[in-house]
Amino acid sequence: MENKRRLTGKIVFWFTPAAACLLVEILGHGGLPQIKMLFLNMVFFYMLYLVTYAVFNNEKIVYPFWNTAFFILALAEYYVLQFRDRPIMLGDFLAVKTAASVSGNYSYEINIKIILAAAVVVALSVLAVKFPVKMREKRARWLVVPVSVAAFTLFLTGFYQVLIKQWGIEINMWNPRSSYESNGYAVCTFRSFAYLFEKAPDGYSVEAVRQDMETVEQNRENAAYYWQTDTEIILENIICIMNESFSDLSQVGDFKTDQPYLSFYNELEENCVKGNLYMPVWGSMTSNSEYEFLTGNSISFISAGAVPFQIYMEAPVYGLPLTLKAQGYKTIGMHPYPASNWNRNSAYKAMGFDEFLAEEYFLDSERIRGYVSDRGTYKKIMELTEEKEKGDKLFIFDVTMQNHGGYWEEYQAQIHVEGGDFPMAEQYLSLIRESDQALKELLEYYENVEEPTMIIMFGDHQPSIEESFYEMLYGCSMGEVEKEDYLRRYVTPFLVWTNYETPSEKIDKISAMYLSNIIVERANLLPTSYQVFLDEMYQKLPVVHPLGYYKSDGSWFTWDGWKEKEEYEQWWKPYENFLYNNIFGRKNRINEFFSISMQQ
C-alpha cells in the first residue's frame, strides 16, 4: 500500500509541470507549439515547479499554487485573445490594475474546455496534497536547493546567450499571437524580459549625442518652425482630447452605412489642421499612444511590448506638459476612470501635470454604457476654463472613455452596416456618431469664447471589433493582408482647431510623435531643441511606426535592414541616440536639449 502511495506521488510530482504547460497552451491558445519549442516550454515549467519545491520542500503548497496560477493565466489568455486578438504580454502584467478595471465590460462564457481544465487542475492539486513527495533528510535539502537554483540560472543563461540566437527566438510584433502560438507562452514571456533591458545604440556615447545636439542648435538659429502661422496670438486655452478608440474605419476600406457617423468632423474646414494620424498601437495599449504624443518619443525605438507609463517614468519626463508649463501654462490631466489606470497617477506627475482629475471628479457626469460620455468630459473642460482667472493660461489633456472596447453592452445602435451582420461594429459606429456630435457642441461653445483657444482631438487607436468586419474592408482574410495595407488599421483622425482665424491644412500622413510640434508652434510658443529636430525629421520621414516607416515621397519601408539605408546616418542614428539619452541616460542626460527652461 505504501509503495502504491509513493508511486502515485511520484507520478503526480513529475507529471504536473508538463500538464500545466499543456494547459496553458491548449486552453490559452487552442493548440500546441512546434515540438522543439514545446519541449523548451516544458523545461521552463519544470524549473519553476522544481526550484520552488526545492526551496520550500512542501509539495502541498507549491504544486497547488502553481496549478492555480497557471490555470488563471490560461483562462485570462483564452478570454484576452477573444477580446483583442493579442496575447497577454509582459507589459500587461505591469498593467494588471488597468486590465481589472475594464474587464467587467467584456462578455465571458464558460464552456466545456474550461470546465475540463478546471477539473484537471483541481484533481492534480488534490493528489499533490494527498500524496506529497518530500525530501526527508535536511542534508539532502541543503544540497538540492543550491543545485536546483544553479541549474535554473545556468539554463536561463543558456537560453538568453545561446538559444535565442541559435533558434531565432523572436516575438513578431506585427502579429505577436503567431509568435506565442508557435513558440509557446513560457518561451515568449521569458524572451520578453530581454526586451526590458535596453541596450545602448551602436556607437552611443554622451559625446556623440552632444555633437548631434550641437548640429541641431546650429541649425536652430535659421530654422523656420514648420507649423508656425503668421498670427501673433498667444493662446490662453490649449485643450487636448485623446478620444478613446475614435477612428474612421473607412480609412481601412470602403463600406456603407444607413446614415453618416462622422459628418461634422468630415465637413469641418475652417481654422484647422486635420488628417490621418498613425498611432503606434491597435485595439488596446492606450497609454503607449499617449506617451508617444506627449513626449515625441517613438514606441518604435523601445523594447517590443514595453509600456513606458509603467517602467520609464522617472521624473522629470520631458514632453508637452513641461514645455507648456515652462511658458506659463497650468497643466491639468483628466481621465474619467481610476487614476491608477496605466499608472497615470505616477506618470502624469513625472511629466509635470499640476493636477490630475480622475474618476471622482466625474461622479455627476453623463454616462453611456456605464462610461462617462464625451459630453460629460467636455462639460468639465468648459467649467475649468470658465472658473480660471481672465488672462491665465491653461493646458488640459483629456483622455476619454466613452468608446472603450467591450461592444457587447445593451446599447441601441443608430448606425447600421450594409452587407453583413456586424453588431459590434454597428455599436462602435453609433458611439462614434455620439463623439462627432459632442465635438460639434464643444467647438460651437468655444467659437463664442473670447479667450484665444486651441482644441486638439485625436483617436488613440482603432477598435477591436469583429475580425470579419475588417476582412470585409480588406476584401480578404487578415492573414492575406499585405504589410503596408495592414498599417491602415493604425490610422485615426486628428484635428487642431482654433477659435480665431488660422490657415487650414489637410495632412495625409503624420505620426503621433510629431503632433505636439503642431500644437506648440501654432500656439506661437517656443519649441524645445528636440522638437526642432523632430520638425526637420517630419519633413523627411512623416510616419515612424513599429511596423515600418513612410518617407516624404510616399514610399514605405519595413525595419528590415534599416541601418543600411541612406536615412540611417542622417536621421535614425541621431534620433535613436537622442531617445536613449532622454529615456535611459538619466545620469548623463543633456536636459537642456529636451526642456525649455534653458532656452528662454
Per-residue H/E/C for 154-205: HHHHHHHHHHHHHCCCCCCCCCHHHHHHHHCHHHHHHHHHHHHCCCCCCCCC
If asked whether residues 260 and 163 sit together in one domain, one would say: no
CA atoms within 13 Å, Cβ hemisphere of 405: 23
Average pLDDT score over residue span 499-514:
94
If asked whether residues 47 and 189 sit together in one domain, one would say: yes
What is the amino acid identity at position 78?
Y
Residue 104 reports pLDDT greater than 80: no
Q: What is the pLDDT of residue 599?
A: 44
Average pLDDT score over residue span 238-248:
96
Give the CA radius of gyration of the chain: 26
Q: Quick one: which of 398, 402, 336 has its CA closest to 373?
A: 402
Q: What is the pLDDT of residue 141?
A: 62
If asked whether residues 413 and 363 sit together in one domain, one would say: yes
Structural domain containing residue 30? 2-196
Do 255 and 472 meet the contact criterion of CB atoms below 8 Å apart? yes
Residue 143 reports pLDDT greater than 50: yes
Residue 580 reports pLDDT greater than 50: yes
Position 70 in a domain: yes
| Cell numbers placing 211 | 555633437
If asked whether residues 364 and 455 sit together in one domain, one would say: yes
Position 311 in a domain: no
If asked whether residues 95 and 27 sit together in one domain, one would say: yes
Residue 209 CB neighbour total at 10 angstroms: 22
Whole-model pTM: value is 0.76
Q: Quick one: which of 307, 358, 337 has its CA closest to 403?
A: 337
The three-state secondary structure class of 106 is coil
Of 174, 196, 218, the domain-final residue? 196
Q: Quick one: which of 155, 221, 220, 164 has its CA closest to 188?
A: 164
> Rounded to an integer, what distance in angstroms lies between the CA atom of residue 77 and that of residue 539?
42
Position 494 in a domain: yes
Position 46 in a domain: yes
Position 23 in a domain: yes
Of 176, 196, 216, the domain-final residue? 196
Position 302 in a domain: yes
Q: What is the pLDDT of residue 38?
A: 94
Residue 538 reports pLDDT greater than 60: yes
> Rounded to an integer, what distance in angstroms lies between the CA atom of residue 222 and that of residue 208?
23
Of 165, 196, 227, the domain-final residue? 196
If asked whether residues 264 and 175 sit together in one domain, one would say: no
| Number of continuous H segments (helices) and E segments (strands) in the chain | 25, 13
Residue 48 reports pLDDT greater than 80: yes
Say if strands 505-511 and 543-545 run parallel, antiparallel, or are unpaired. unpaired
Work out the pLDDT band at 98, boundaries 50, 70, 90: very low
pLDDT tens figures, 115-136: 999 999 999 999 989 988 876 5
Number of domains into which the chain is organized: 2
Average per-residue pLDDT in the chain? 88
The three-state secondary structure class of 278 is strand
Q: What is the pLDDT of residue 307?
A: 77
Residue 82 reports pLDDT greater than 50: yes
Q: What proportion of the chain, given as a percentage, has pLDDT over 90?
A: 55
**CATH code at position 249:** 3.40.720.10
Position 229 in a domain: yes
Residues for the chain: how many in total? 600
Work out the pLDDT band at 139, boundaries 50, 70, 90: low
CA atoms within 13 Å, Cβ hemisphere of 552: 8
| Cell numbers placing 268 | 469641418
Do 398 and 242 meet the contact criterion of CB atoms below 8 Å apart? yes
Of residues 286 and 263, the one with the higher pLDDT is 263
Work out the pLDDT band at 85, boundaries 50, 70, 90: low
**DSSP annotation of 127:** H
If asked whether residues 328 and 474 sit together in one domain, one would say: yes
Average pLDDT score over residue span 560-567:
87
> Rounded to an integer, what distance in angstroms lies between the CA atom of residue 188 and that of residue 175?
13
Of residues 525 and 586, the one with the higher pLDDT is 525
**Sign for the pseudo-dihedral over CA of 306, 101, 512, 215:** negative
Q: Quick one: which of 555, 317, 195, 580 has its CA closest to 572?
A: 580
Of residues 31 and 271, the one with the higher pLDDT is 271
| Cell numbers placing 165 | 540566437
Residue 113 makes CB contacts below 8 A (sequence gap 6+) with: 26, 27
**DSSP annotation of 572:** I
**Sign for the pseudo-dihedral over CA of 407, 409, 411, 416:** positive
Which residues in 34-62 are b (16+ Cβ under 10 Å) and which e?
Answer: eeebbebbbbbbbbbbbbbbbeebebeeb
Residue 112 reports pLDDT greater than 50: yes
If asked whether residues 258 and 387 sit together in one domain, one would say: yes
The three-state secondary structure class of 397 is strand
What is the amino acid identity at position 551?
K
Average pLDDT score over residue span 154-161:
89
pLDDT tens figures, 414-424: 899 988 889 99
If asked whether residues 165 and 214 sit together in one domain, one would say: no
Which residues in 383-400 are b (16+ Cβ under 10 Å) and which e?
Answer: ebbeebeeeebbbbbbbb
Do 223 and 532 meet the contact criterion of CB atoms below 8 Å apart? yes
The residue to which cell 515621397 is assigned: 553
> Rounded to an integer, what distance in angstroms lies between the CA atom of residue 348 and that of residue 170?
32
Position 201 in a domain: no
Q: What is the pLDDT of residue 320?
A: 96
The residue to which cell 510629431 is assigned: 514
Q: What is the pLDDT of residue 600?
A: 44
Average pLDDT score over residue span 220-242:
84
Work out the pLDDT band at 345, boundaries 50, 70, 90: confident
Do 384 and 394 meet the contact criterion of CB atoms below 8 Å apart? yes
If asked whether residues 482 and 581 sit together in one domain, one would say: yes
The three-state secondary structure class of 101 is helix
**DSSP annotation of 550:** E
Residue 174 reports pLDDT greater than 80: no
The answer to which of 29-33, 275-279, 510-514 has the lowest mean pLDDT is: 29-33
If asked whether residues 225 and 302 sit together in one domain, one would say: yes
If asked whether residues 239 and 344 sit together in one domain, one would say: yes
